[in-house]
Amino acid sequence: MPQEPWLGLVWLIPACSLLLTWYGLSRSSWKAMLIAAALAFVFGVITVFSIGIFLFAFCVLQLVAVVLLRRNT
């Protein structure tokens, strides 16, 4: 089985995470931000030996935004 289709699916994860981050911040939706953080965490686990540490940091920032959005609603 060729790996190209799986690689395309793997790269959809951070794209969805970024789109959900934008949506969550623009609409003050903590649920969208929580899903985006979960997707960033999953992608960080998949890519832990290359760019995973940066995605874990992004995930932490998203979780901080979730906490702040929950306090404001």
As a whole number, the mean pLDDT across the chain is: 87
Domain that residue 48 falls in: 4-72
Question: Residues with Cβ < 8 Å from 55, sequence gap 6 or more?
Answer: 14, 40, 41, 43, 44, 47
Q: Are 31 and 73 in contact (CB under 8 A)?
A: no
In this prediction, residue 1 carries a pLDDT of 46
- pLDDT tens for 28-47 read 999 999 999 999 999 888 88
Domains of the chain: total: 1
Residue in 10, 8, 66, 18 with CA at minimum distance from that of residue 42 = 10
Q: Which two tokens stand for residue 6?
A: 């799986």
pLDDT score at 35:
94
Q: Say if residue 32 is exposed, middle or buried (CB neighbours under 10 Å; 0-12, 13-18, 19+).
A: buried
